[in-house]
């Protein structure tokens, strides 16, 4: 075994673990001179999502870490400088272009997986459209799915009504022949990968073993402490068995076991880490003391079980829950203060105003004058960020603690 199990494991207190985890996720104090591209590289990726009750998830994620961030800055890196590309991790994400060579394994695996899966979903005829779609783009330039027609118009916008050319576009993107050159009103615009991805990155072809080593090492470094399952899930490139094998293959002293305290009594977990984990935790920056609104898709919360164990904060997105059965709301934003998740807030843009419907504090969190002032300043910032007036508050917006 590569991890050192012959001696008593190191221990990390819950407070130290939270601080280190926040620092690794860009929620500590930013390093001097770190630009937006450097932040995204430190995170590994930023999930992209279409819901914009306040602003789209990727912009909310970045704005929670850089107060000066504006959406045009991300578009500049993606569409002009080409230092980022958009592809798949556990979901659609913005990824540093320097990582592109390690997506070759993903392209090959997706080709096999999606052929079988999409055939079984009766998307008949999409494979026959590959040559026509590629020729259309080669001759006439970038294209959106709506510009390709296959007979009758779909009756609904969901994936279940993708026409064959739309399915072909998505397959060719997922498997590396196409790339997203830009988005228009959040619709993907596809072009040949050779026109979007710089030659230097397309010409690199790391082997499977090198890719899996990069993926597992990069995941552990960003998580700080993790199980093999969590390492595998980070990029969703390595399988759990491959992450297990990677951990076992590390040389003596490369990994150690560490007992990490969770947020409640008896919640300690024994996880893998680098040997200098305690020094890393001690050097981690303290998070800023103000309140920050997080996206529901924030990297801090992506692994819901891990967030609940480490922060004692149970969070679920209720988009697909029938309205009458929702515990909180359609799209509720977590609130981070220092190293604590202190509550959640329901708000949205409406008629040019940021309208706050409800705020639920976590158990044991008092909404005194100072804390309400910090929440108010963050809401003022969010309103400015999304171009709204406000915030304005509905009657009874402060709700009783639940749980």
Which residue ranges of the chain lie beneath pLDDT 50? 1, 5, 152, 154-156, 159
The C-alpha atoms of residue 174 and residue 162 are separated, in whole angstroms, by 15
Output phi, psi for 392, to 5 deg: -120, 150
User: Pairing relation of β-strands 187-192 and 3-4?
Assistant: unpaired
Element (H, E) at 149: none
d(CA 169, CA 183): 14
How far apart, in Å, do the first and last CA atoms of the chain sit?
42
Nearest to 306 by CA among 229, 202, 209: 229
**Pure H helices in 44-145:** 57-63, 71-75, 104-120, 130-140
Beta strands in 267-386 (DSSP E): 269-273, 291-293, 333-337, 340-350, 353-361
Residue found under tokens 């899930």: 233
Our separate counts of H helices and E strands in the chain read 15, 15
Asked if residues 309 and 269 have their Cβ atoms less than 8 Å apart, the reply is yes
- pLDDT tens digits for 218-234? 999 999 999 999 999 99
Predicted confidence (pLDDT) per residue in 91-111, tens digit: 999 999 999 999 999 999 999
CA distances 57 to 77, 187, 230, 234, 301, Å, are: 17, 15, 22, 18, 13
79, burial (CB in 10 Å: exposed 0-12, middle 13-18, buried 19+) = middle
Distance CA 134, CA 145 (A): 13
């Amino acid at each position: 075994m590569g991890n050192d199990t012959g001696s008593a494991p190191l221990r990390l207190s819950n407070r130290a673990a939270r601080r280190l985890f926040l620092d690794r996720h860009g929620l500590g104090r930013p390093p001097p001179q770190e630009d937006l591209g450097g932040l995204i590289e430190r995170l590994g990726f930023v999930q992209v999502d279409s819901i914009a009750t306040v602003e789209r998830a990727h912009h909310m994620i970045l704005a929670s870490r850089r107060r000066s961030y504006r959406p045009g800055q991300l578009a500049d890196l993606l569409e002009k400088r080409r230092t980022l590309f958009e592809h798949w991790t556990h979901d659609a994400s913005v990824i540093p272009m320097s990582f592109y060579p390690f997506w070759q394994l993903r392209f090959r695996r997706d080709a096999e997986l999606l052929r079988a899966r999409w055939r079984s979903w009766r998307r008949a005829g999409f494979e026959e459209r590959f040559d026509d779609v590629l020729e259309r783009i080669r001759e006439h330039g970038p294209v959106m799915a709506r510009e390709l027609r296959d007979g009758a118009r779909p009756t609904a916008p969901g994936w279940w009504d993708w026409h064959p050319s739309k399915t072909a576009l998505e397959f060719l993107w997922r498997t590396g022949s196409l790339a997203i050159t830009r988005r228009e009103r959040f619709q993907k615009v596809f072009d040949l990968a050779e026109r979007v991805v710089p030659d230097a990155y397309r010409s690199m072809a790391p082997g499977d073993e090198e890719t899996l080593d990069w993926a597992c090492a990069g995941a552990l470094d960003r998580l700080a402490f993790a199980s093999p399952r969590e390492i595998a899930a980070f990029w969703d490139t390595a399988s759990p068995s491959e992450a297990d094998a990677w951990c076992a293959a590390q040389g003596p002293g490369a990994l150690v076991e560490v007992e990490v305290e969770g947020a409640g009594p008896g919640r300690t977990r024994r996880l893998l880490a680098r040997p200098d984990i305690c020094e890393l935790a001690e050097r981690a920056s303290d998070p800023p003391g103000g309140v920050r609104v997080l996206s529901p898709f924030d990297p801090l919360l992506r692994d819901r079980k891990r967030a609940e164990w480490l922060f004692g904060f149970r969070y679920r997105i209720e988009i697909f829950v029938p309205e009458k059965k929702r515990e909180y709301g359609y799209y509720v934003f977590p609130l981070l203060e220092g190293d604590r998740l202190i509550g959640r807030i329901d708000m949205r843009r409406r008629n040019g105003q940021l309208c706050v419907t409800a705020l639920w504090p976590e158990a044991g969190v008092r909404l005194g004058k100072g804390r309400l002032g910090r929440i108010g300043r963050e809401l003022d910032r969010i309103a400015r960020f999304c171009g709204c007036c406000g915030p304005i508050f509905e009657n009874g917006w402060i709700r009783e603690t639940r749980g």
